[in-house]
Homo-oligomer: A and B are copies of this chain.
Amino acid sequence: MQQRSRDTRKQIIEAAVALFCEAGYEAASVADICDRAGVSKGAFYHHFPSKQALFLDVLEDWLGRIDAQLFSPSMIGGDVPACILNMAEMLGFVFREASGRLPIFMEFMVQASRDQAVWNAAIQPYRRYQNRFAELIANGQKSGSIKENLDPHLVARVLVSLAAGILLQAVVDPRAADWEKVTREGIRMITEKIRRSS
């Protein structure tokens, strides 16, 4: 792709993300996105076949980046409980990075519950996370740092649920709490509970 074409694509995505956050996916039209990005409808449809295609692209990009950050080799090396605590710190970083963009997280979830295409796009990376966390827990059990009598998938679901619930509340009531601290302390409680004392 030419540099200019890449710039246009980026402008469209940034305008769309801003509008999805402010007005919602349903309310933001392709015309609104073009207006905001300062591009023609022709340019829009050159890059994306539809608003939904753009939406799915944003979703894939966002989930892919979180994935890459959370499960980078430097993150998942070493002791498993320490690794989970590192991930909790990383989630704090995701909060700071995303800040105003967090409502999109919920938009994705709501769309996913109603639209099969969005659901398919959202559910695959989500199940991948879930499985990777479960693998991590299972590895901890093998290497002796996590208690053996636990179901790795159940522990993974509890960890993912806690993180998702904190994200949800950070969107709705960002100033109610120090959400990074809630993340760190909450994940720590569960981690200490599942850690095998040496």
Q: Which of A147-186 contact B (CB under 8 A)?
A: 153-154, 157-158, 160-169, 171-173, 176-177, 181-182, 185-186
Task: Spot the interface stretch: A2-10, A19-27, A40-48.
Answer: A19-27
- Chain B residues closer than 8 Å to A171, beta-carbon distance: 109, 113
- Cross-chain contact of A165 among B27, B107, B163, B177 (Cβ < 8 A): B163
Interface footprint category on A: 35 or more
Q: Which of A181-198 contact B (CB under 8 A)?
A: 181-182, 185-186, 189-190, 192-194
Rounded to whole angstroms, the CA-CA distance of A189 and B23 in the bound complex is 39
Rounded to whole angstroms, the CA-CA distance of A162 and B157 in the bound complex is 10
Q: How far is the CB of A113 from chain B (nearest CB, A)?
A: 5
- Chain B residues closer than 8 Å to A81, beta-carbon distance: none
- Quick check: A161 and B189 within 8 Å, CB to CB? no
In the assembly, how many copies of this chain are there? 2
Q: How far is the CB of A1 from chain B (nearest CB, A)?
A: 33
Rounded to whole angstroms, the CA-CA distance of A161 and B123 in the bound complex is 21
- Quick check: B154 and A110 within 8 Å, CB to CB? no
- Known A103-B113, A123-B172; judge A182-B157 contact (CB<8 A): yes
Rounded to whole angstroms, the CA-CA distance of A119 and B164 in the bound complex is 20
Most buried by B among A22, A110, A127, A181: A110
A112 at the interface (CB under 8 A from B): yes
Rounded to whole angstroms, the CA-CA distance of A192 and B181 in the bound complex is 21
Sampled A-B contacts (11; CB under 8 Å) = A107-B110, A109-B168, A126-B173, A157-B186, A158-B186, A158-B189, A161-B162, A161-B165, A161-B186, A162-B162, A189-B193
